[in-house]
Amino acid sequence: MIPVTLHQLRVFQTVACHGSFTRAAEELFITQPTVSAQVKQLAQVVGMPLFEQIGKELYLTSVGRELFATCQEIFEQLDRFQMIVADLKGTKQGKLRLAVVTTAKYFVPRILGYFCQQYPQVDVALEVTNHQNITRRMLENQDDLYILSQPPEDILLCNEYLMDNPLVVVANKNHPLAAKRNIPIKSLNNEAFIMREKGSSTRQAVQQLFAKYKIVLKMRLELGSNEAIKQAIAGGLGISVLSEHTLYCKSSELELTTLDVQGFPIQRQWYISYLDGKQLSVIAQAFLKYIQEYTQKIGIISCPVASFVYNRRGEK
C-alpha cells in the first residue's frame, strides 16, 4: 500500500486540473511552496515524476495521468459517500458537476437556480464549453452530467432527451432577405458568413447541411462564442446559423432577425447524458429528475426576434 495522504492527492489533482501550481495554491488557500512540496513528496513515494515542464506548460507524465484518473475515482467515491450520509440524515448536500455546450447556457443556469433554491446545501460546478471539450471531459470522467446536442457515438453513454434545439439563420434586421419568405438555400451562396470555431457541433451541423446542398460558404469570420457572433451580425459583418435559444436574451435590442430559409431550422435535440455504468450521486439523480420534469413543462417556444413561431418539435 503506497503511503499517501488524501491531502496530497487533492493537491496533486488540483494542480493537474489547472495545469498550474499557482492556481492550485489559490484554489486550495495554501502557499505555492506547500503545493510544490506536497507534489514532490507524492512523486517520491510513487518513485516517478508526475509532471513535466515543457516551456511554460505543465504536462502530466504517463504515471501522472494514471494517478489523476485514480484521484478522480477516489474523490468521486468519497463525495458520493458524503451525499449518501447527508441523504440518510434527511438533507441533500454535496456537489453537482455539470458540463454543458454553449447553446445550453441559455436555459441551464436558470434551472440550476431553481434547483438550488429547493436544495440550498448543494454546491454546483458548471462548465460551459463546446462539443469537443465536452467529449474530452467525458473521456476523463470529469463531471456527473452533460448536456449537449449530439452525444458522441464512440463513448458508452446513457442519453435522455431534454428539449428541441432548432438551429436558425440569423441576420441583421436590415438584411435584404429579412422580409422574404421561403428563401431558397442557394441564396446563401453569396452571403458573408460568420462561423463558430472548430470543435463546435453547431459548426458541424451547418457544414453538413451546406455540403448536402453544395453551398460554398464565404466564411468572413470565425468566432468562439454565440454572443460574439450575435454582436458581429448586429454590426453588419454577415449572417450566421445559431441555436434559436441564443436569441432569447436581449436579442431584440441587437436588431437581429431570423431568415426563413428552406432547409431550416436544422432540427436538433438536447440530451442530458452520463457515462454508462456511472453510479450517479444522490444529487445528480435529483437534478436529472428535476431538469426532466422542468423541460417537460415547457410548451411552445416563441422566439422574440423570429417572424414565425416554432413548436416544441421545431416545426414552423
Binding site for ligand PGA (CB under 6 A): 101-103, 130-131, 148-150, 165, 196, 200-202, 243
- Considering beta carbons, is residue 14 or 202 the nearer one to ligand PGA? 202
Based on CB atoms, which residue is closest to ligand PGA, 51 or 248?
248
Closer residue to ligand PGA (CB): 188 or 195: 195
Q: Is 102 exposed, middle or buried (0-12, 13-18, 19+ CB in 10 A)?
A: buried
Instruction: Output phi, psi for 155, to 5 deg.
Output: -120, 135
- The C-alpha angle with vertex 259 and arms to 255 and 262, in degrees rounded to 5, equals 170
Q: Which is nearer to ligand PGA, 20 or 149 (CB)?
A: 149
Q: Which CB sits closer to ligand PGA, 13 or 150?
A: 150
- Report the run of H or E that residue 88 belongs to, with start and end: helix 62-88
Cβ of residue 94: shortest distance to ligand PGA, in angstroms? Answer: 27
Please state, in angstroms and as integers, the Cα–Cα distance from residue 286 to each residue in 139, 145, 290, 297, following that order.
23, 12, 6, 17
Shortest separation between residue 197's beta carbon and ligand PGA, angstroms: 9
* Selection from 211, 114, 281, 71 nearest residue 203 by Cα: 211
Question: Whole-angstrom Cα distance, residue 245 to residue 214?
Answer: 27
Residue 224, all three cell numbers: 468562439
Give the shortest CB-53-to-ligand PGA separation in angstroms: 31
Cα angle, residue 128 at apex, residues 211 and 99 outer, rounded to 5°: 100
Distance (Å, whole) CA 76 – CA 276: 16
Query: Which of 149, 251 has the CB closer to ligand PGA?
Result: 149
CB atoms within 10 A of CB 205: 21
Q: Is the dihedral of CA 169, 270, 128, 140 positive or negative?
A: negative
Least separation in angstroms between CB 199 and ligand PGA: 7
Distance of CA 111 to the CA centre of its chain: 15
Shortest distance (Å) from residue 110 CB to ligand PGA: 17
Q: How far is the CB of 65 from ligand PGA (least distance, A)?
A: 25
Least separation, in Å, of the C-beta of 137 and ligand PGA?
A: 12
Nearer to ligand PGA by Cβ, of 20 and 201: the residue is: 201
Smallest distance from ligand PGA to CB 102, Å: 4
Q: Which is nearer to ligand PGA, 61 or 269 (CB)?
A: 269
Rounded alpha-carbon distances, angstroms, from residue 9 to 4, 24, 28, 139? 7, 12, 12, 21
